Amino acid sequence: MICKTAIITGASSGIGKACAQRFASEGWNIVLIARREEKLEELASEIKATFGVKVDCMVLDVRNSNSGNELAQFIESLNIEPDLLLNNAGLAVGLSPFQTGVVDDWERMIDTNIKGLLYVSRAIAPVFIKQGFGHIINIGSIAGKEAYPNGNVYVATKYAVDGLTKSMRMDLLPHGIRVSQVAPGAVETEFSIVRFKGDEERAKGVYNGFVPLTGKDIADAVFYVANTPKHVNINDLIIMPTAQASAVQVKRDI
Ligand code: NDP
Ligand code: 8X3
């Protein structure tokens, strides 16, 4: 069996964690990246014990401008040839009209969702080019396809991910490196708890009266995108709960 390796950012929770579990269950080795070391170590132990694959952890804040270089050095030290970079680390902070928005929240979203994705991709793309293969999958959002009230800066960051995905695909075309986006609607993870700064009651309310997606649903889609034949690239995959027709339209049974 050929053993592949996935680098997953934002692997300590939600979609990233589910992707790590899904890929490991199919025999992939995993490099887990996030800021919360304990969560990463816990997941690494679980995955190793369950699936017997190799798991390496790196505590990294993708907002640091040197994060990409640190990651590239870490990958080099592992002496591996990664097949996939899953740019998943990201967050929304706050939900209010831009005219009353909190500048620090904006910085966190822009630094993580746009600049973090860029730093990491900038460092790993040359690794892919040198080894002659690789695939970048960016986790976008329905918020990168349609604006919604009070979404403003989060929406802008996900539109940026949408644009960057297209542009990165063009830049990497001569090198045969695939670039894809998976853009989900509502997924119940820690996302809304982070958005509402720890207010779990308010976060739960987001998913009231309908069945949201799970991290596992997204992991299945990401796994599909990563495993098409070499000559096939899924450019963009929008995945929504059946009960959600657009960024602003959800059918709630309440
Ligand atoms: P979670 O909050 O559950 O997970 C977010 C992950 O990102 C965590 O592992 C977190 O780890 C990591 N992360 C956040 N900031 C940083 C940072 N500065 N450096 C490194 N890692 C970081 O949310 P989701 O799983 O839902 O979110 C994953 C992605 O999916 C995000 O890009 C989000 O925008 C996107 N998305 C989510 C949707 C949803 O409805 N949930 C829908 C569409 C897209 P740690 O805190 O340990 O660093
Ligand atoms: C997360 C989905 O609709 O809350 O990207 O922006 S939404």
Domain chopping of the chain, boundaries: 5-239
pLDDT digits (tens, 9 = 90+) for 215-244: 999 999 999 999 999 999 999 999 999 999
Residues identified as active-site: 154
Give the residue among 165, 109, 172, 177 at the shortest CA–CA distance from 139: 165
Residue in 152, 191, 192, 218 to alter for ligand 2 test, most ligand atoms within 8 A of Cβ: 191
What is the reported pLDDT for 95? 98
Contact 184, 15 (CB under 8 A): yes
> Which bound ligand lies closest to the C-alpha atom of 189?
1
Is there a contact between 120 and 68 (Cβ–Cβ < 8 Å)? yes
Domain boundaries 5-239, corresponding CATH code:
3.40.50.720
C-beta of residue 41 within 8 angstroms of C-beta of residue 55: no
**Atom 36 of ligand 1: nearest residue by CA position:** 141
| pLDDT value of residue 129 | 98
| Residue 13 confidence (pLDDT) | 98
Residue 1: the pLDDT is 57
Q: What pLDDT score was predicted for residue 2?
A: 63
Q: What is the pLDDT along the chain (254 residues), one digit of tens a residue?
A: 569 999 999 999 999 999 999 999 999 999 999 999 999 999 999 999 999 999 999 999 999 999 999 999 999 999 999 999 999 999 999 999 999 999 999 999 999 999 999 999 999 999 999 999 999 999 999 999 999 999 999 999 999 999 999 999 999 999 999 999 999 999 999 999 999 999 999 999 999 999 999 999 999 999 999 999 999 999 999 999 999 999 999 999 98
Distance 144 CA to ligand 2 centre (A): 9
Q: What is the 3-state secondary structure (H, E, C) of the chain?
A: CCCCEEEEECCCCHHHHHHHHHHHHCCCEEEEEECCHHHHHHHHHHHHHHHCCCEEEEECCCCCCCHHHHHHHHHHHHCCCCCEEEECCCCCCCCCCHHHCCHHHHHHHHHHHHHHHHHHHHHHHHHHHHHCCCEEEEECCHHHCCCCCCCHHHHHHHHHHHHHHHHHHHHHHHHCCEEEEEEECCECCCHHHHHCCCCHHHHHHCCCCCCCECHHHHHHHHHHHHCCCCCCCCCEEEECCCCEEECCEECCCC
Which residue out of 112, 154, 208 has the highest number of ligand 2 atoms within 8 Å of its CB and is therefore the one to mutate? 154
